[in-house]
Structure 1
Amino acid sequence: MKVNIAGFNIDKELIDKLNSPLATPELISASYARISRSNKSIEELRKEAMKELEKARKTNTNIIFAMGHSSVAEHSVFNIDLIGISRALTELIQRSRIASFTEKSQRYVTFSKDYVVPAEFANRPKLKQPYKKLMDELFAEYELSFNALNELYKKQKPELKTRERECLAKEDARYILPLSTKTQMGMTINARSLENLLRRLSKSPLKEAAELKELLYTKVSAIAPSLIRYIDNDDYTGKVDLEKVGFTGFLQQELPWVKELDLENKVRVINLPTNADDTILASIIYQQGE
């Protein structure tokens, strides 16, 4: 038995000091992609990938996209700082469950007044001004509530340490904060999941989501151009067509022949699993997921 550490996450500033075009996760994906079709050792495959970067990129393109072995892209992982995004956008991002996130917590950190003003309001002062006024009022109320709760818990829970008491006050006061509150988040995500995330961002009506999509793609494609390709709305992934669902219900109620069907006598269940509901729900979740 033999175990090698083929790579690990290090800070981008350290990678930059290498000053080498070979400092890209594409080499890992390219070498691992050949494991299933080569008699060579993994060590040899990795050395070959490092000798010819463009050939390694071509391997990724052929195997991931032409042959459809998308899982190969999962060997390439990115650590991404997301700074100054709204809480609303974090909820959309975190639907990508095959990824890891650590977000600035409203339970442990006191938030100062800083919120996203939607780009949609740029030329709409009649909406922008009331919006900003409301946000300012919410942050002012948040600060008042935190201070009031902190004083209240001093009296009600004298046994708590200062840090514990303040965290409890923050936890209760945070419900006042709007979803436009700016936050930050560290994200660790593989190339395949990132591609799925970019498509999800494409479907969002928020301009903030569109801006994030472009920034992510620009940053990642500069490092690993062979791993990310299909980033636009595919009109399917994760989509629930509520209009069609509603129309189907309408047909069931309104079409005469549906009412005339003698379903009780003409349809007979011959086999039914005990966990049918769980199976159906799992199928729906899988179909609408990624």
Structure 2
Amino acid sequence: MTDPLNPAIPAGAYDAFLPGALTRAAAQRPWTPADGPLPALYLSHGAPPLLDDGPWLRQLSDWALSLPKPKAIVIVSAHWEDAPLMLSAPAAHTPLVYDFGGFHRRYYQMRYDTPDATGLAARIAAMMPDTEPLHQHPTRGLDHGAWIPLMAMYPLADIPVLQMSMPTHEPQRLLALGRRLAPLRDEGILVIGSGFMVHGLPYITRDMMLHGTVPAWSSDFDTWAADALARGDVDELAAYATRAPGMPYAHPTPEHYLPIFITLGTAQNPEQPARTVIDGYMVGLAKRSFQLA
């Protein structure tokens, strides 16, 4: 049986994926104002095992190529919870954050050298109210909730990217933050919430990983979320802690779920039905990913 956390060739699926992905990315049409606002995205990011999953890599690539190429990207990841609100370092080639442990050394040597994002940082700073200061971090790079999925979606690494911290666990405050970012979509800037629809990793056993077992708490939570997203029921989604089946196993801590509210807030109408782009499971955890106009 194949161990998804210890592949025979670390990131071998990414090596096989990359040549074709680069060719497709080079032909992608850039965004223009005639395209209208880009959608708001929520994706499940997968950590290093994503780089060993060829079908998932292609799904993310196909998703990116279904959209015009953005002028820039703002991403809020589950792996940067910090207040006051912060932005990652905007300089070109800022080193990545390898915020995971126990994997093959190759994953700690990978690079995603994006261009300078100073102009984007200034634009975001101008959108924030004086009552909520924005701190520009001088050295922090993109963490794996940002650079790993972006390596699949935009492998040329030629788009300015900034990561924003998640300053609160309160859904309403995250929705408000998303609303502040919404005008960026009209400028060809892609806003992404990066988490994992189910992230009960402490409750996934090695036997589950090897046999592809999906626990009921994972599938039940995913079904509940899919139904609420299809109905545009933001209040239901915000009441996940008491309303969602599978809790607290699905999310023993909430940080991988909460970026969903950045995406909902950034959408033109958060109560519109979401379009699921990727579903299924990784080591028993639901990886549902969706977009909103």
TM-score interval for Structure 1 and Structure 2 normalised by the shorter chain: under 0.3
Q: Which has the higher contact order (CA 8 A, sep 6+)?
A: 2
Greater strand percent: which structure? 2
Greater helix percent: which structure? 1
- TM-score, normalised by the number of residues in structure 2: 0.22
Which entry has the higher C-alpha Rg, 1 or 2? 1
